[in-house]
Amino acid sequence: MSIVININKNIFLLQMKSTCYAFGVDDKGLLRHLYWGERIESCEDFDMPHIDEVSTNDPPAEITREEFAVYGGLRYKEYCLKAAFYDGTREVVYRYCGYEIAEGENCDELIITLKDIHYELIIKLHYKVYADYDLMERSVEVENLSDKTIEIERLHSAQFHIPHEGLNFTNVHGHWGAEQQKFTQKLSYGKVIIENRRGISTHNHNPYFILDRNASENSGDVYFGALRMSGNFSGIAEQTPYGETLVQLGINSHDFMLKLTPGEIFAAPPVICGYTCDGFESMSHRLHHFALDTIMRKGLRPVLYNSWEATGFAVNCDEQMKLAQKAKEIGAELFVLDDGWFGERDGIDNGLGDWYVNSKKFPNGLNELVDKVKSLGMLFGIWVEPEMVNPKSQLYKNHPDWIYHFDTRESDTSRGQYVLNMTKTEVQTFVYEMLDDLLSKYNIDYIKWDANRPISQTSPQKDIWYKHIDAIYSIAAKLKKKHKNVLFEACASGGGRIDYGILGIFDDFWTSDNTDAYDRLFIQDSYSYVYPIKAMRSWVTDCPNFISQRNIPLKFRYHSAMMGSLGIGCNILKFTEDDTALSKEMIAFYKQIRPIVQEGDFYRLSGAGTSDYFVYEYLKGGEGLVFVFLPQSKVGHRGTTVRLRGLCKKSIYTLETDGGEITKSGDYLMNRGIDLRLEGDYASTVIKLKRNN
C-alpha cells in the first residue's frame, strides 16, 4: 500500500518508488501541505508545524501552505475554489471530515472529504498514487447536498507548494504553424500565468507546468504536472513572499461559472504530477511510460499517406485512387482522404456540416475509392470537422440556432465557419449519428477529427467552455466503443489539441501544419518533454515547404518525420524515380525500427539549441537508434562527440553507422561516447545499435 497514515497526527504520506508527498490536517481542521520530494520512509517523522499570525498583514491562512486553498477569510493569495451561496455568502469555510482509501488497477487512491461548516457543500480531494511510475494524479470533486444552487466561480484541480525560490518555469508558446515553441523563464516575485481562452486551441500555451532548480537532462530537481483536459485551462506559478513557489492548474476561471444544482456532483479534470531529482529526461520518461501503459491505445501506429497537401479541396476520385496506388507502392499502410470530399465543399467557405458524399467528385459514390484502397491492402481514413458549420450549408439553413451566437449580434466567422453549440443535446445527437452512420456505411478505419477555429459568442451559460470539450470526449468515446477498430486522430488546425485529456480519448495527434523538417526538429524536441513519441504524427511533405519556403533534401525530411509516427503528405504522383526509390527504402526502414521509435525510451542527447547537431536516442530492450541531424555546417565546422544514455554498462553493443560497424561496451559508449561528423547542409543519419550480450 502506497498510502501511509499517521492517525494520531492526522498526517498522510503518499509513497512512490523514489518520491513521496505528505500533507495533514491541523488543529483547526485545515488541510496543510508538508512535503513533496525524494522518498522518506517514516511517516512518524512528519509533524504539523504550529502557525501564528506573523503580523496583522500576514494572517495565518496567508502564510500557511494550504493543500487546497479556498476563497474566503483573511486570504488574499491564489485559491482553488470560489463559491457563492444562495444567500449572498461568497466564501467557503471548510472542515476536514475524514478519508477513504480505494484500490485501483495500477494505483491506490486516497480521498479526503471536506465540508463547509454551514452549507451543504462537499469537497473531495482525490490522490491517485501510481507508485511504480513515481507519479500522482490529483483532482477535486464538488457536491451540492443542499436544495439550493451553489455558484462555483473558480475550481482549480490542484495546488502545489515547492519549497524553493528562483525556480525556472518552462512551457510552450506559439501559434498556428509554430506550435510547441519551448520557453524557460526564471520565476521572481509576481505571477506567471499560462492559459487558453479559445475553447479549442493548444497552439499557444499547453496545460502543464515544469519547474526546475537549474536542472539539466540528467540532474537537478524538476517538479511537473499536466492537466487532463483540452480547452480553457489556466496555470499559475507564483514565487510568494514567504520563501516558496506555488503552482495551480485547472479549468480557466475566465468566463467560467458553474451552477451546481441540488444533488449535483462536478468532477474537475485531474492533474498528473511528479517530482524527480534526476532532471528532464527522467520527467519525460515517467510521463511517457505512464501515457503509453495507462492512457493511450495500445499498438503501433500505421504509416499513413494523407492527400491534403497534394490536392487541397480539389479532391476527385480518379486522382485519389492514383494517389492510393502510389502510396501503396512506396509502402504506406493507411490512406487518408482529407477535407473536400463532402457537401458542396470547394474551399473554406461552403459545405461544412453537410456530410454527404459530393457526387461531382465521387460520381460512383465513396465506395469506389474505399474499395480501391482496400483492394490494395491498405486501411482507409477520412477527414471530418464535426463541431463546425459553414453559413453556406444546408445544415445551417435548417438549424441556424445550433451555433454559438447572440441573437442581437452578427455571428463571428473564422475560416468562414461557425462553431456548433456542442452543449445542446440535439447537436450532440446529430454529430454522433452522422459519424456513426459514416462508420457504419463505409469500411472506414481512421477518422481525422479537425477543428479549425476558436469558439466565440458562447451563449448565456458560462459553463460551455468545458461542456463543449466534454461533449467531444463523450461522442468520441461512444463511437470508439461501437467501432472498436477505428483509430481517431485529433487535429485542430494543426497542433491545436494535444494535452493529457485528449490523449486518452483519441489515438493519433496532429502535431503541426508546419511540416518543414527543420522547424519540426524544434517542435518535436519540445513536444517530447511531456508527450510520448507515439502521440506525435509527423509527415514528410513537398518542398519548397508551403510555410517556410525552404528546400530540404528528401532524406532529411524522412529522418525528421521518422522521429514520430511517420506519415507522408507529398504529391507522390510528382515523385521522380529517385524520390520513389528513396521513399520505398525509408518507409521500409521505418517499419523495421517503428517499435523502437514509437514505444522505446527517448533521450534528448543534444537537442534544440544546444549545439549545431540535433542528436536523439531511442532504446527498447537490446535495440536502439541514434538520429543525428546537422541542419547547417558552419565555418570551421568540426564534428561532435555524444555520450549515449540508458545502456547496460557491461554489455557490448554493435553500432551500424554510415562508415561501417563499431563494437564497444555500454560503459564506453555512455562515458567516452561516439564521435559524429556530418558534412554539408541538412545532413542526417540514423545509427542502429544492438546489444550483443
Q: Is 491 in the site for ligand DGJ (CB under 6 A)?
A: yes
- Taking alpha carbons only, the member of 373, 369, 352, 354 closest to residue 315 is 369
Cα distance between residue 378 and residue 390, in whole Å: 32
Question: Helix (H) and strand (E) counts for the chain?
Answer: 12, 38
Report the residue number, 155 or 491, with the smaller CB distance to ligand DGJ: 491
Report the residue number, 307 or 583, with the smaller CB distance to ligand DGJ: 307
Nearest approach in angstroms of CB 493 to ligand DGJ is 5
Nearest approach in angstroms of CB 450 to ligand DGJ is 5
Q: Is 179 in the site for ligand DGJ (CB under 6 A)?
A: no
Nearest approach in angstroms of CB 469 to ligand DGJ is 18
Which parts of 449-468 interact with ligand DGJ (CB under 6 A)? 450, 452
- Taking alpha carbons only, the member of 64, 61, 246, 276 closest to residue 163 is 246
Report the residue number, 168 or 413, with the smaller CB distance to ligand DGJ: 413
Report the residue number, 239 or 307, with the smaller CB distance to ligand DGJ: 307
Which parts of 605-634 interact with ligand DGJ (CB under 6 A)? none
Torsional class of 154: left (φ above 0), alpha (ψ -120 to 50), beta (otherwise) = beta
Site string (543-582) toward ligand DGJ, x via CB under 6 A: ----------------------------------------
Beta-ladder partners of 388: 419
Find the part of the chain contacting ligand DGJ (CB under 6 A) among 148-156, 233-241, 490-498, 580-588. 490-498
Cα distance between residue 444 and residue 407, in whole Å: 39
Size of interface with ligand DGJ, in residues (CB under 6 A): 11
Nearest approach in angstroms of CB 414 to ligand DGJ is 13
- What residue spans of 549-665 are helical by DSSP H? 554-561, 577-599
Report the residue number, 458 or 493, with the smaller CB distance to ligand DGJ: 493
Cα distance between residue 321 and residue 319, in whole Å: 5
Report the residue number, 308 or 629, with the smaller CB distance to ligand DGJ: 308
Sign of the four-CA dihedral 570, 573, 579, 585: positive
Beta-ladder partners of 248: 159, 236
Cell triple for residue 203?
Answer: 497552439
Report the residue number, 11 or 492, with the smaller CB distance to ligand DGJ: 492
Task: State which amino acid sits at residue 592.
Answer: Q
Find the part of the chain contacting ligand DGJ (CB under 6 A) among 13-21, 130-138, 456-464, 486-494. 486-494
Report the residue number, 212 or 339, with the smaller CB distance to ligand DGJ: 339
Cα distance between residue 606 and residue 181, in whole Å: 17
Cα distance between residue 663 and residue 690, in whole Å: 10
Spatial neighbors of 535 by CB under 8 A, at least 6 apart, are 291, 296, 498, 503, 508, 509, 565
Site string (367-386) toward ligand DGJ, x via CB under 6 A: ----------------x---
How distant, in Å, are the alpha carbons of 501, 565, 581 from that of 683?
A: 37, 21, 19
| Residue nearest ligand DGJ (C-beta atom) | 339
Nearest approach in angstroms of CB 306 to ligand DGJ is 7
Cα distance between residue 582 and residue 547, in whole Å: 24
Nearest approach in angstroms of CB 339 to ligand DGJ is 4
Report the residue number, 452 or 606, with the smaller CB distance to ligand DGJ: 452
Element (DSSP H or E) covering residue 654: strand 652-657
Q: Is 538 in the site for ligand DGJ (CB under 6 A)?
A: no
Spatial neighbors of 483 by CB under 8 A, at least 6 apart, are 436, 439, 440
Find the part of the chain contacting ligand DGJ (CB under 6 A) among 285-293, 325-333, 363-371, 491-499. 491-499
Task: State which amino acid sits at residue 163.
Answer: P
Cα distance between residue 337 and residue 448, in whole Å: 9
The b/e string for 400-439 (b: 16+ C-beta within 10 A; e otherwise) is eebbbbeeeeebbbeebbbbbbbbbeebbebbbebbeebb
One residue of 446, 510, 529, 590 binding ligand DGJ per CB under 6 A: 510
Find the part of the chain contacting ligand DGJ (CB under 6 A) among 362-370, 487-495, 554-562, 598-606. 487-495
Nearest approach in angstroms of CB 385 to ligand DGJ is 7
One residue of 159, 196, 458, 493 binding ligand DGJ per CB under 6 A: 493
- Taking alpha carbons only, the member of 121, 155, 428, 110 closest to residue 267 is 155
Residues annotated as catalytic are: 450, 513
One residue of 174, 381, 494, 532 binding ligand DGJ per CB under 6 A: 494
Q: Is 601 in the site for ligand DGJ (CB under 6 A)?
A: no
Cα 330–chain centre separation: 31
Nearest approach in angstroms of CB 346 to ligand DGJ is 12
Report the residue number, 339 or 525, with the smaller CB distance to ligand DGJ: 339
- Taking alpha carbons only, the member of 641, 661, 648, 660 closest to residue 619 is 648
3-state DSSP call for residue 472?
Answer: helix
Report the residue number, 338 or 499, with the smaller CB distance to ligand DGJ: 338
Site string (338-367) toward ligand DGJ, x via CB under 6 A: xx----------------------------
Q: Is 308 in the site for ligand DGJ (CB under 6 A)?
A: yes
One residue of 333, 513, 519, 525 binding ligand DGJ per CB under 6 A: 513
Nearest approach in angstroms of CB 369 to ligand DGJ is 17
Task: State which amino acid sits at residue 233.
Answer: F
Nearest approach in angstroms of CB 345 to ligand DGJ is 9
Q: β-pairing, 81-84 with 150-162?
A: antiparallel
Find the part of the chain contacting ligand DGJ (CB under 6 A) among 88-96, 232-240, 393-401, 488-496. 488-496
Nearest approach in angstroms of CB 478 to ligand DGJ is 23
What residues make contact with ligand DGJ under the rule CB under 6 A?
Answer: 308, 338-339, 383, 450, 452, 491, 493-494, 510, 513
